[in-house]
Amino acid sequence: MRISLSEALLLPLLGTAMLLATAPASAEPPAGPPTPWPVDRCREILDKTLPVHLAPDLSALTAGERAAVADLLAAGEILQRLYEEAKHPEAAAAGAEVRAAAAAGDPAAACRAELFRLFQGPVATTLDNRREPFLAVAPESPGKSVYPPGITAAEIEAFLAAHPEERAAILGERTAVRRATAEALARDLAALARHPALDTLHPGLADRLRALAAEPDPARLYAVPYAMAWADEHVALQRLLFRAADHVEGDDPEFARYLRNRGRDLLGNDYESGDAAWVTGRFARLNAQIGAYETYDDALFGVKAFPSLSLLLRDAAASATLARGMERLQEVEDALPYAPHKRVRADIPVGAYEVIADFGQARGTNTATILPNDALFSRRYGRVILLRGNIMQHPELFAIAERRFRAAVAPAHAAELALDAGHLRTLWHEVGHYLGPDSTADGRPLDQALGAWADALEELKADLVSLFAVQRFAAAGTIGPEARRAVEADGVLRTLLEHRPRRDQPYQTMMLAQMNYFLDRGLLAADGDARLTVDYERYPETVAAMLAEVLALQRQGDPAAAEAFFTRWTSWTDELHEPLAARLREAGGPRYRLVRYAALGEERP
């Protein structure tokens, strides 16, 4: 689960997709064969893009750690390509073509190559928040490339109704779904034959594929593990992780063990050993998120995780401070307005890091990460929290946040935001994912029970737990009134949106729900010019009330009830939301962020 400092602004980079079926008619992409965007359309986006350059000082690393960094960056490049391919089947070919044309000196192609880097594929999020190809490729499909092209949720549900035994595989977090054509089956069987290790780790799979191949039927669906869908790449990843492990064996044996476990996980398509080693490991200077974790790109069922890698450098002093802040964890869990409460680990591994480089689904200006999402693994081993300091404290990103806040609130509130407040709110947002119900009252996993609403509810819960925890800390005297006020102001900033959210945008949807709820409870009030005043006295009661509703919806696990809740709280009016959004658009500056990494040889623009 991720969160960002400049949430509304970075969301185009989070890989959210438009569900064409739910978009208004005017938002349909233009008909006709796809054509590359002209240079002026391309420029229009890049002119609204803030370059962010990350260049942490790696001089304290040992020679072994530096060699491991090189291998992990190479692994990241593989996962980057897999991510692009998972999002669009034509990404690799279209990307290679546009980069070649750019290298040959075509300025329009150079511009489009830059867009490809920004959007990690051939589909842009336009200034009016639509998803549209900018290269000559097919429009994006909600299931991207991890389901058969153009398939509908209804067809998959119909298939599962007839084949209930396939549900776990078809809706698995790390499986690719295919139509049982002779061609697809032959390709998968060839991959198994090429890599005996995969055949060994997935017993029975070859027989199952052969049985399907005996009677190919495109109406029949089947699923293969990612390890097999991208077999050559996964074998290469495993080798790179093992070699990186050898490099750090002497300096950081626990990190080395984690890398080897994760290398095996990738081939076995089962992350338990690596997740256990990751969450409970005590590493030296390096850390890394490796594999497919987040499901935001799956606009069909919201269950498929997409490939990622983040390579991080630990900030020892800041990490020690954070660990002390975790001492009140159980107290916050016990105070949450739901029952029954659970025991939470007192020793959640929370660390402050600098981003060396991000790849695939993890690329962007996310300020923090908490993983794994898997309910069983997090119950068994806990979850690791990685705060990303060189994003959270990036001066240009904070300056934008401050301009947006000032554009939204009455002048009396103008100075209430503070750079450090974002840290605390972000930290407790991440911890918030750790607290509250792990499953519905009748024992179903939240993701499966709540379907398309699971992410929006989970992120909303995390935001509210953060604001709730800060009230507790302030009441207990753990934090001072100024810090409390700054976090509360940051909570108001969190609700500000430049654009009316689409239903398939979980972050924006829950941000709008908070704004409307806060307005309803008098925590926020808007004057005739849609300028907000904040009644901070109303914070504790408002947050507790909304949190109680959200926790109840999670316990209930009824998607219809969740939909009714979001329908009620996500109205968008011409009197308030639209003029406020217009002011934010004007104040916010660049809409998109393009992150470049010194570790990849990318220079400050």
Q: Give me the residue whose beta carbon is nearest to Zn ion.
A: 1
Q: Could you tell me the sign of the dihedral formed by the alpha carbons of 171, 176, 182, 187, in that order? A: negative
State the minimum distance, in angstroms, from the CB of residue 430 to Zn ion: 7
Phi, then psi, of 38 in degrees rounded to 5: -70, 165
Q: Write down the residue that tokens 């100075």 correspond to.
A: 415
State the minimum distance, in angstroms, from the CB of residue 364 to Zn ion: 14
| Identity of the residue, 447 or 459, whose beta carbon is nearer to Zn ion in the bound complex | 459
Residues 6+ apart with CB under 8 A from 183: none
Which three-class secondary structure state does DSSP give residue 595? strand
| Identity of the residue, 3 or 185, whose beta carbon is nearer to Zn ion in the bound complex | 3
| Identity of the residue, 1 or 223, whose beta carbon is nearer to Zn ion in the bound complex | 1
State the minimum distance, in angstroms, from the CB of residue 11 to Zn ion: 13
Would you mind telling me the total number of residues written for the chain in this entry? 605
> For the chain, what is the largest distance between any 2 Cα atoms, rounded to a whole number of angstroms?
73
185 binds Zn ion (CB under 5 A): no
Contacting range for Zn ion; rule: CB under 5 A; set: 28-36, 103-111, 385-393, 462-470:
462-470
Among 9, 462, 464, 581, binds Zn ion (CB under 5 A): 462
| Identity of the residue, 366 or 570, whose beta carbon is nearer to Zn ion in the bound complex | 366
Contacting range for Zn ion; rule: CB under 5 A; set: 107-115, 324-332, 342-350, 452-460:
452-460
State the minimum distance, in angstroms, from the CB of residue 443 to Zn ion: 24
DSSP H helices in 120-181: 153-162, 167-170
State the minimum distance, in angstroms, from the CB of residue 370 to Zn ion: 7
In the region spanning residues 1 to 20, those forming contacts with Zn ion, defined by CB under 5 A, are 1, 3
Q: Write down the residue that tokens 């949720």 correspond to.
A: 153
Residues touching Zn ion, count (CB under 5 A): 4
Which three-class secondary structure state does DSSP give residue 191? helix
| Identity of the residue, 348 or 462, whose beta carbon is nearer to Zn ion in the bound complex | 462
Give yes or no for a cis peptide into 216 (omega within 30° of 0): no
State the minimum distance, in angstroms, from the CB of residue 464 to Zn ion: 11
The whole-angstrom separation of Cα 96 and Cα 295 is 26
Tokens of residue 137, six digits: 């490729």
For residue 458, give Cα distances in angstroms to 1, 104, 464, 510, 552. 9, 47, 10, 9, 12
State the minimum distance, in angstroms, from the CB of residue 97 to Zn ion: 36
| Identity of the residue, 3 or 52, whose beta carbon is nearer to Zn ion in the bound complex | 3
| Identity of the residue, 234 or 425, whose beta carbon is nearer to Zn ion in the bound complex | 425
The whole-angstrom separation of Cα 174 and Cα 292 is 7
The whole-angstrom separation of Cα 217 and Cα 176 is 17
Tokens of residue 6, six digits: 């400049």
Tokens of residue 527, six digits: 């004057």
State the minimum distance, in angstroms, from the CB of residue 470 to Zn ion: 16
The whole-angstrom separation of Cα 56 and Cα 312 is 9
| Identity of the residue, 3 or 576, whose beta carbon is nearer to Zn ion in the bound complex | 3
| Residues of the shown chain interacting with Zn ion in the complex, contacts defined by CB under 5 A | 1, 3, 459, 462
